[in-house]
Amino acid sequence: MFVKTPATTKIEDETLDTQLRPKTWDEYIGQDKVKQKLNIIIEAAKKRGEPVEHLLFYGNSGLGKTTLAHVISRVMGKGIKTCSGPTLEKTGDLASILTNLQDGEVLFVDECHRIQRLVAEMLYSALEDFKLHLILGKGPMARTMELAVPRFTFIGATTRLSLLPGPLRNRFGGIFQLDFYTSEDLEKIIRRSANILKVAIDQDAVRLLATRSRFTPRIANRLLKRVRDFATVEGSELITKEMATKGLELLEVDESGLEPEDRKILRCIIERFGGGPVGIKALASSAAEEPETILDIYEPYLMQLGFIERTPQGRVATSLAYKHLGIAMPQRDLL
Ligand SMILES: Nc1ncnc2c1ncn2[C@@H]1O[C@H](COP(=O)(O)OP(=O)(O)O)[C@@H](O)[C@H]1O
Ligand SMILES: [Mg+2]
């Protein structure tokens, strides 16, 4: 039975991510400028026999930040430890991770804009001089102790650069933005994934999936997998364009790559707020979504397509959004 699930299923994402994640520079498709600059930093560090400088990657979810961190650790021939900002609850959590690192190892912290303030403060000195300043005891008996940690490379990832504390931002040797992918690169990614998953797919179907993938590799992979399920249920060995079209229809992914949730946000702005401007909080509560989900998942792509615009007063639906949904735009907005 072909089960329709929201394309944002988290667990499916994570297994797919690890299965399809590129391991080398050659497999890491696109983002050429970022790759070039990183290569120089890495090769220089290797020549000097030092760990790579601390690096920050920012950009939307699914564009390859985590993957980059893994590729770098591999190219350096060093291990990688990973965690996420919100899971570092106490300074002790960070201290134990840092003291257990090997020399030159990569510490990858996802969502690093969400590190607690006290933990972040401890991290600053570790990043700067590879020392931890620990406070032992309480009150008048309290003393500080300095503890050296191995020289490591910190790699941070964030979807929201603006929320990153200044002192953390200043401690990165390189800050790189990951962009949306071109259709050409997405086609390469889909073909590579189809190979790994042993899926037969024709070029027209590859192209169709690429145009519906929101310029994002993770989504390209997810659509490929869902369409493969559909083809299997239909008893087809090869994913053709027709098969892919039917599968995407069932998933309710439209020709711009919008899913029901995206269209709900657009409709909400248009139908409940007269096309906007509407503030993020009002929009979130009206659409029954978290403001963060709108900011991180829906909005970047809707803005990229030119369906919504941000103004100081809030979000506004553009004429393209009206057209896409087949809703007549109120006359006054056309002025
Ligand atoms: N440049 C790339 N080339 C090929 N596949 C990629 C690339 N970037 C991401 N992917 C695919 O997309 C998935 C999600 O990437 P990930 O690094 O987890 O994104 P992020 O950490 O930015 O959310 C990966 O598992 C991988 O399969
Ligand atoms: Mg990630």
Residues classed as catalytic: 65-66, 110, 159, 218
Same domain for 126 and 192? no
Q: Is residue 15 part of a domain?
A: no
Q: Is residue 7 part of a domain?
A: no
Same domain for 121 and 237? no
**Cβ neighbours of residue 28 under 8 Å, at least 6 residues apart?**
22, 35, 64, 67, 68, 71
Same domain for 64 and 147? yes
Q: Mark the residues whose beta carbon lies below 5 A from ion ligand 2.
A: 66
**Cβ neighbours of residue 124 under 8 Å, at least 6 residues apart?**
167, 168, 171
Cα 266 to ligand 2 centre (Å): 27
Domain coverage including residue 218: 183-250
User: What is the pTM assigned to this prediction?
Assistant: 0.90
Q: Is 71 exposed, middle or buried (0-12, 13-18, 19+ CB in 10 A)?
A: buried
Number of compact structural domains in the chain = 3
Q: Is residue 103 part of a domain?
A: yes
Same domain for 43 and 149? yes
The CB density around residue 81, as the number of other CB atoms within 10 Å, is 16
Q: Is residue 12 part of a domain?
A: no
Same domain for 69 and 198? no
**82: β partners:** 108
Q: What are phi and psi of 34, to 5 degrees?
A: -60, -45
Per-residue confidence of the chain (335 residues) as pLDDT tens digits? 444 444 445 666 777 778 899 999 999 999 999 999 999 999 999 999 999 999 999 999 999 999 999 999 999 999 999 999 999 999 999 999 999 999 999 999 999 999 999 999 999 999 999 999 888 888 888 888 899 999 999 999 999 999 999 999 999 999 999 999 999 999 999 999 999 999 999 999 999 999 999 999 999 999 999 999 999 999 999 999 999 999 999 999 999 999 999 999 999 999 999 998 999 999 999 999 999 999 988 999 999 999 999 999 999 999 999 999 999 988 765 54
For residue 157, which atom of ligand 1 is closest to its CA?
21
Q: Is residue 229 part of a domain?
A: yes
Q: Is residue 152 part of a domain?
A: yes
Q: Is residue 24 part of a domain?
A: no
Separation CA 191–CA 203 (nearest Å): 9
Same domain for 82 and 136? yes
